[in-house]
Structure 1
Amino acid sequence: MTIHELSPQRSAALTGVIPPVSTPLTPDYEVDTASLTRLVDHLLAGGVDGLFVLGSTSEVAFLPDSHRKIVLDTVTHHVAGQVPVLAGVIDMTALRVLDHARVAVEAGVDGLVATAPFYTRTHPAEIELHFRTIAAQTGLPLYAYDLPVSVHSKLGGDLLLELASDGVLAGVKDSSGDEGALRGVILGRRDRRDIASFSVLTGSELTVETALWMGADGVVPGLGNVDPHGYARLFRAASNGDWEAARAEQERLLQLFELVNVGRPRMGLGSSALGAFKAALYLRGIIDHPTTAVPQIPLNDDEIARVGKYLSASGLL
């Protein structure tokens, strides 16, 4: 199963705005590569510092392996080294993850992102072995994705810091919603020179300036597909110590984020949010279709029009 018998590469901490790239689809559920490259150009023009493909906002859980490969090949070829590209290799167990990792390595990505194993009931020791196995056999920086709402396991701070110290993990994307635990990881890293390059990234669109003030290195915002410029402004303001400007930008993005609810209660939050992101990109002329993968429920014309009102109120239309 070996891809590369190497330890993960040590490098500088990944920082900045790294949006999880939406996956544009045609009406018959194929990957719309022309729209995908336009979306990548939109994000790069917005000042992002990296791209995360095949994450939750990318609809990774809905995409067959052939679609995943098309996304990887399209994005890495188009980006051509302008910014780092991280690839989600998310699946239920380590051997399945390694299959995805092999394809991602061949595509030329710069790092891998994996959750804890799921579906099976896993012990913390098995979660640790999961990450150690992936890291040992890929040779690329590995980022843990803390997503307990989907995988039903919370990644403990002590485990993350231990794996960072051992060179297994290059960073974490924290989408747990547990701000106290996030701060604990930041504090645990603070005085340890051996893990100074361990990146702590928040997955919350709504508390970015707070996470950066606590010492987080960056943000992985789904809403960043719609408004990458806004998150880039927020990050620059925080980096410059202009917390008033960062707060103001965050509050504007908070209002824009309300578009994720346009489909509720007719559908679940996932269908509503991912559909709203795609509707916004469609209305902005960036992608050709707002199609989401089945069995997600699509937004109707009225709901798409409501997305447009949020965009107009935020100055994006």
Structure 2
Amino acid sequence: MTPLPTPLTGVVPPVCTPLTPDNEVDVASLERLVDHLVGAGVDALFVLGSSSEAAYLPDGHRATVVSTVVRHVAGQLPVLAGAIDMTTLRVLDHVRAAAAAGAAGAVVTAPFYTRTHPAEIARHYRLVAERGGLPVLAYDLPVSVHTKLDPELVLELAGEGTLAGLKDSSGDDGALRRVILGTRARTGDAPSFSVLTGSELTVDSALAMGADGVVPGLGNVDPDGYVRLYRAARAGDWQRARAEQERLCALFRMVYVGSPARMGGSSASLGAFKAALHLRGVIAHPTTAAPQIPLSPEETEQVGKHLAAAGLL
């Protein structure tokens, strides 16, 4: 196992989970996808996040994903594992399983389904950090868990050592900046707490604010583009970073090819990512987990046009 850097920086793709047509994990395709990402020069891998369809996968599938990726990456990069479930005891089961499989860290949302108080959210993270056996990154995902993590709570948990980082998918750039500024005020130029943006579309601005890295779902499709963007920003070449970001913004429009009249946003976006990976020859099937609705042949053709326009076919 490669330990989690402090802070974790760079491009950390949330690895898609290739599936067979009967909804089993396609291990061979998952290994090719790992090779595709590692070969692009990414800095770590994040399995069992939203782009991994973690919410759709039974525990056996989750275990297969973590063990396959940890084994195949063979210590080249740290592997983070999402431990996303409704309440603390269920999350602890996932964290301990990930630790046993060799993951370097766990990514954990606030509790959901139950109505929670900020004191319960804090207790949740403290218990997972104390008892799970892995460094914990908070996953701010209010669209799915219906709780926005308060920046002051994140900073409090970071300051006491409960949290090793934040993956911010809230879309609240003001809150993201408060965490970045609060972290830097506490630690100066030697932070141990990682602030990662989950947005595909505003990576250059997040890095300019001081974010440490990016966790882009679209990074499955074009990891090289995000690596170029990150490296240009770190070199202070903001013109080149902006140009790369704008190319990726155009590519991201593939997530809108699925008709909202017949499918939800998850089917459309994850279906587009998987269709793109299939068209690029990385995975054998574009299958998304049930009950998601697959893209039509016409919609898949539109995904191919976006890839061609971005120079990826």
C-alpha distance in structure 2 between counterparts of 1:27 and 1:306, whole Å? 22
The match for 2:142 is: 148
The match for 2:245 is: 250
Is the 1:10–1:170 Cα contact (8 Å) retained in structure 2?
no
**Deviation of residue 138 (structure 1)?**
1.9
1:288 paired with 2:291, answer: no
Aligned counterpart in structure 2 of residue 229 of structure 1, from 224, 232, 245: 224
Moved more, 138-147 or 168-177: 138-147
- 3-state secondary structure, aligned to 1:130: helix
- 3-state secondary structure, aligned to 1:278: helix
**Which whole-Å deviations, capped at 9, do the CAs of 1:38-67 have from their partners, x for residues lacking one?**
000000011100000000000000000000
| Correspondence 1:1-317 to 2 at 5 A | 12-193=6-187, 196-265=191-260, 266-317=262-313
Moved more, 228-237 or 293-302: 293-302
C-alpha distance in structure 2 between counterparts of 1:316 and 1:132, whole Å? 44
**Deviation of residue 139 (structure 1)?**
2.7
**Deviation of residue 137 (structure 1)?**
0.5
Residue identity over aligned pairs, in percent, reads 69
C-alpha distance in structure 1 between counterparts of 2:5 and 2:291, whole Å? 40
C-alpha distance in structure 2 between counterparts of 1:114 and 1:145, whole Å? 5
**Which whole-Å deviations, capped at 9, do the CAs of 1:93-141 have from their partners, x for residues lacking one?**
0000011111101100000000000000000000000000000012321
Normalised TM-score (structure 2): 0.97
- 3-state secondary structure, aligned to 2:52: coil
**Deviation of residue 193 (structure 1)?**
2.1
Is the 1:54–1:68 Cα contact (8 Å) retained in structure 2?
yes
Runs of 4+ in 1 over 2 A off after TM superposition: none
**Deviation of residue 269 (structure 1)?**
1.3
**Which whole-Å deviations, capped at 9, do the CAs of 1:199-243 have from their partners, x for residues lacking one?**
000000000000000000000000000000000000000000000
5+ unaligned residues in a row in structure 2: which ranges?
Answer: none
- 3-state secondary structure, aligned to 1:112: strand
C-alpha distance in structure 2 between counterparts of 1:285 and 1:188, whole Å? 43
**Residue 285 of structure 2 aligns to which amino acid in structure 1?**
H
Normalised TM-score (structure 1): 0.96
- 3-state secondary structure, aligned to 1:315: coil
C-alpha distance in structure 2 between counterparts of 1:41 and 1:237, whole Å? 23
C-alpha distance in structure 2 between counterparts of 1:120 and 1:99, whole Å? 18
**Deviation of residue 12 (structure 1)?**
1.8
Moved more, 130-139 or 206-215: 130-139
Is the 2:275–2:300 Cα contact (8 Å) retained in structure 1?
yes
**Residue 124 of structure 2 aligns to which amino acid in structure 1?**
H
**Residue 109 of structure 2 aligns to which amino acid in structure 1?**
T
- 3-state secondary structure, aligned to 1:102: helix
